[in-house]
Every structure is written in C-alpha cells, then in structure tokens.
Amino acid sequence: MPRIALCQLNSGDDPEENLKTVRSGVEAAAAAGARVVVFPEATMARFGRPLAPVAQQLDGPWATAVAAIASEHDVLVIAGMFTPADNGRVRNTLLITGLGQHLGYDKIHLYDAFGFAESDTVAPGAEVVTFSAEGTVFGVATCYDLRFPELFRRLADDGADVVTVPASWGAGAGKREQWEVLVRARALDSGCWVAACGQADPAVTGVEVNPKAPTGIGYSLVADGFGRVEAQAGAGVEMLVVDVDPEVAGKARTATGALANRRLS
C-alpha cells in the first residue's frame, strides 16, 4: 500500500531556489514514511515569467539534482518542470524520478481557457504515461488534463490504480468548486485513486505573482475510486500524507461498472 505525500507550495521564479523547496519537501515526506512524493505543476518555475530561459532537458542539471534528492531519500518524486520544444516554446513536463525511474510526461491538454493561452508558449505532448512503483501502477496527468475524462479512462485501461495530478490551478469565481468536483469525478470515471497536488494560493501566503497567470489556489486533495475524499489541504503551504490501497480501485470499478459498461469511446 503506497504512502504518498502531496507537497503543496508556492514556487518562485528561480529554479535553484525552488530546488531547495523540493529538498525540504522530500525530507519531510520521507520522514513521514512516504515513498512517492508529489509536487505541483511548475515547481521548477512558476507561471507568469518567461519559461524558455529556464527550460532544461530531463538529463539537465535541475532534473538531475531532483533525481539525486530522490535517491538520497529512497523515494520517487513527481514534480512539474519545463523542457525545450520548437519555435521558442517549451513543454510542460512532469519529471518522474527515483526508485529506478527517470522519465517525463508532457502535458497533453493545454490551458487555452478562461482568457489564458498556454499554447502561445507551450507545445502539447501526445504520449500517455504510466509507471510502476511500490508494486502499484501509477498514471500521471497535469492540471487542465483534469477536464478530460478520456485520459483518465485510458490510464485505467493501461493498468493505473493511482493517478497523480500536479497542478497550478487558475483562480477565479467557482474555480475551487470546479477543482474539487473534477478530481472526484475523474476518480469515479476511472475507478482510480486521484492524488491532485496544486500550488498554494499566493493570495493567502503573501507571495506576489502575475495576476493574469494561473498560479494556484491550494486545496490539494486525494479521492478514491468511489469519489470519496480521503484527505484535503487548505489554501496555504501544506503537506498531505495518505496511504492509498490499490485494491480499492478494483472494487470501485467492479461496483460502478464505469469502465466495463462503456458504449462510447
């Protein structure tokens, strides 16, 4: 039964300073017995600043440093970073490193919504990613991916029992409600545990950010395949530690028939 830590934080402009936050988060999570440690989208550098100058490959210094931290504490780390793409754009990448893994997931669905155009500076990914850790198959998705149930059902079809969703959710009227409903709905759609880790709300933590950028609202949460909330954070900087039982995913799928009874794809 994997123990997962969600490290809700505010990342800043400087990747090196954010790396220090990753280290302290991993140290605290490992001390609490977690083997999988999840950080938000844009942990490497927050939205609202130029992203191309900070983008690095998965074998570059930032990802290599995170891998070393994961190895030191014998955990797997999932953290949002940016990798180079074409025409001056970047890819919004989740680094997955530790426990014998070192790979990335490039965000498939870009946040061209609510007046923001992520595709202006970010190129979309195309590959669905799963991996195994602690005897459990995990899937990954990023922030706006949460609005697309077909991705979560595909991850379940590929064997995932847990899907981690790093995010930097945009603020606004009704956005917290949408976040909470979507996490629980995707858990029900797929029968998976959904562990969604967001950036903390800068308005609560006193951090100045670009008001036009999606820089987080907090309220990270973990829901099981029945849509039940196992744990939830508040708006500020916080760590959640949750034990997730993969057998619950199978029980949820059997009970709801949400995958077996599909007629449309």
Q: CA angle, corner 109, sides to 22 and 206, nearest 5? A: 40
Is residue 192 annotated as a catalytic residue, yes or no? no
Catalytic: which of 7, 41, 118, 197? 41
Amino acid at 6: L
Q: How far apart are CA 44 and CA 22, in angstroms?
A: 9
- In Å, what is the CA distance from 39 to each residue of 19, 88, 119, 239, 260? 11, 26, 23, 10, 32
Catalytic: which of 7, 107, 192, 230? 107
Amino acid at 115: G
Q: CA angle, corner 66, sides to 88 and 79, nearest 5? A: 65
Is residue 17 annotated as a catalytic residue, yes or no? no
Q: How far apart are CA 214 and CA 220, in angstroms?
A: 15
Amino acid at 84: P
Catalytic: which of 7, 118, 143, 197? 143
Element (H, E) at 157: helix 149-157
Q: Do 18 and 53 form a contact (C-beta atoms < 8 A)?
A: no
Q: Do 255 and 227 form a contact (C-beta atoms < 8 A)?
A: no
DSSP summary character for residue 169: P
Is residue 212 annotated as a catalytic residue, yes or no? no
Q: CA angle, corner 76, sides to 72 and 79, nearest 5? A: 105
Helices (H) and strands (E) in the chain, counts: 6, 15
Q: Provide the token pair at 192.
A: 């998976």
Question: What positions carry a catalytic annotation?
Answer: 41, 107, 143
